Amino acid sequence: MRRRSMVSLLAGGAILLAFLPGGAGAVPEEEVHHIAMELRCPVCQNLSVGDSPSEMAKEMRGLIRERLERGETREEVLAYFVSKYGEWILLSPRASGFNLLVWILPLAAVLAGAVGIFVVVRRWNSRAKARAGAEAHRFPDPASLERVRRELEATEGGPPA
């Protein structure tokens, strides 16, 4: 009986706490959520701690809040979870070492593709211009023709067979 009333007292206290306006040590719920979205829920299939309805995720959100209240920074909280579960717990891999690849390659691909397209389009463009130029001079004027003829004669061999 006593234990039961203790439990309900604790539960009541917890509810009360949940509804209490933020005191000095309170951290904004958004901050907790923001960190929770970066962590993988260990018992779910591909859900973040922020999204997961599981009991485990709820406890982890509590842990995040606790650590923030103790004055830890976002980085420290994340580092704590990494030390406990390994890198796997982070939903976006840290941009260092081998993991840099996953961040850099997409950007590199876009840039390389953009350069490639620019080169190709420029080549197409110059080809179109060259053809337009050639078409404009398809019928050379008589004066030029005469000059070409004279120059060919001057080289003695004449036009090749």
**Cβ(61)–Cβ(32) under 8 Å?**
yes
Give the nearest distance from C-beta 155 to other proteins in angstroms.
33
**Cβ(88)–Cβ(39) under 8 Å?**
no
Instruction: Name the residues that contact other proteins, by CB under 8 A.
Output: 11, 14-15, 18-19, 33, 37-38, 40, 45-48, 51-55, 58, 86-93, 97-99, 101-103, 105-106, 109-110, 113-114, 117, 120-125, 127-128, 131-132
> Interior CA angle at 16 toward 11 and 20, to 5°?
150
Nearer to other proteins, 48 or 72 (CB): 48
Nearer to other proteins, 97 or 157 (CB): 97
Task: Give 6's contacts (C-beta < 8 A, 6+ positions apart).
Answer: none
Which letter, b or e, does each residue of 76-88 get, where b requires 16 or more Cβ atoms within 10 Å of its Cβ? Answer: ebbeebeeeeeee
Give the nearest distance from C-beta 106 to other proteins in angstroms.
4
Nearer to other proteins, 71 or 86 (CB): 86
Give the nearest distance from C-beta 152 to other proteins in angstroms.
31
